[in-house]
Structure 1
Amino acid sequence: MSIKIYGDPGSGSLRRVTSAAAIMNVPIERVNIDLFKGESHTPDFLKLNPHGLSPVMVDGDVVLYEASAINLYLADKAGGQLLGATPRERYEVLQWMFWSGEQWRVFATLTFDERIGKRFMGQPEDESITALTFAKIRAAAAVLDAHLAERQFVVGDKLTLADIDIAAPFSQNERTKVPFDEYPNLVAWQQRLLATVPAWAETKREVDERIDTALQGAGIRL
């Protein structure tokens, strides 16, 4: 029985899972969920994730939501790939994954909701919220930029789940205009991932096509 991954192709969180699965050669079956059509809030989907969010993984009787948890599960399936080369690195990977959820991605997601999501609902951006998210993103980016000053990857000398988790906000930064370009080490690290990790470049194209097509269809110009 194949591992099913439910999600919208425009989702940066789904991108984290599909990229990790491709990198680790873990076979998955994609099940598209159209967020713009409300398919994540149907009764059947809400049984999988009561929050009505994607991605969701179904592997037999194991059902998981939250992309980080799914990626940890897939990494165990793949024999620990992307979890770090040593026990110490594994804890550092987990540290940065938790950091990403607490200090980083949440504010990028909120920015997307304000600057892009509200446009689809015909609502104006609340600039006070955007000012808050930018301040939080800048504070975290300064820490990350310093960390990456002499590093190729977030942990150790190879790609890990920490890189994938932290790179997720770059899925939408061209549309949300978050201030990543103020941090040269951060930008260089992201460009390095796009140049050296084919799955990350391929999933970027998928996200861009999905979101840009949705924007065009809704008559929204950014």
Structure 2
Amino acid sequence: MAIKIYGDPGSGSRRRVTAAAAAMGIDIEIVNVDLFKGESHTPEFLELNPHGLSPVMVDGDFVLYESAAINLYLAEKAGSDLAGKTIREKYEILQWMFWSGEQWRIFATLTFDEVLGKRFMGRPADETIVQLAADKIRAGAAVLDAHLAEHDYIVGDRLTLADFDIAGPFSQNERTKIPLNEFPNLVAWQQRLLDTVPGWAATKREVDERIDGALAGAGIEL
């Protein structure tokens, strides 16, 4: 029985899981959850994740949410070295993934909620929040850019789960205008992923089609 991944095709978080699963050769069954229709807050979905967030993984009777946790589980189950070949590499990957969740992706998500999420509700963005998030993103991006000046990937000069985790904000940056394009090494790394990781390129097309279609359907021009 294939592992099920529940989530919206426009979600950068689902993208991180489905792209990583493809890179690891893991068979998954995708179950679409329409976030724009509130399907992540139905009683059925809330039984899977009481936070009402996606993606969620169901592997038999085991339910797991949070993309980073799902990817680590999938890597261990598949025996994939995307989670690290050595103890040292494993903890370097975890370091970057934990940093990404606490200091990086959170500000990209906050910007999405302000710049796009509120547009769907007919409300203006709070520019103070948008600026705060941009400042935090710039601070993190400056460190990443310096790191990527000397490395092709985040850890060990090869693709790992850290790359998928940190690449998540690129899913919406052209729409939210977060300041990632100010950092040439970061942009080059992202292009390297698109050129060398088929699942990352495929899921970019999926996210773009979903979000651009939703914006057009709502009559929203960016």
Q: CA-to-partner distance for each residue in 1:135-184, whole Å, 9 max, x for gaps?
A: 10011111111111110000002100000000000000000001111111
TM-score, length basis structure 2? 0.99
Tell me if the contact between 1:93 and 1:160 (Cα under 8 Å) persists in the aligned partners.
yes
Structure 2 partner of 1:94: 94
Tell me if the contact between 2:108 and 2:169 (Cα under 8 Å) persists in the aligned partners.
yes
Measured in 1, the distance between the counterparts of 2:154 and 2:123 equals 37
Q: Name the amino acid aligned to 1:204.
A: K
Measured in 1, the distance between the counterparts of 2:42 and 2:85 equals 41
SS at match of 1:82: helix
Structure 2 partner of 1:33: 33
TM-score, length basis structure 1? 0.99
State the Cα distance separating 1:83 from its structure 2 match.
1.0
Q: Name the amino acid aligned to 2:102.
A: E
Tell me if the contact between 1:3 and 1:58 (Cα under 8 Å) persists in the aligned partners.
yes
Length, aligned pairs only: 222
Please list, as runs of the form range in 1=range in 2, the aligned pairs for 1:1-222 lying within 5 A after superposition: 1-222=1-222
Tell me if the contact between 1:84 and 1:155 (Cα under 8 Å) persists in the aligned partners.
no
Q: Name the amino acid aligned to 2:53.
A: L
Structure 2: state its 5+ residue gaps. none
State the Cα distance separating 1:80 from its structure 2 match.
2.9
Measured in 1, the distance between the counterparts of 2:192 and 2:2 equals 32
The root-mean-square deviation of aligned C-alpha atoms, in Å, is 0.6
Identity of aligned residues (%): 77
Runs of 4 or more consecutive aligned structure 1 residues displaced over 3 Å after TM superposition: none
Tell me if the contact between 1:114 and 1:130 (Cα under 8 Å) persists in the aligned partners.
yes
SS at match of 1:53: coil
Measured in 1, the distance between the counterparts of 2:54 and 2:181 equals 28
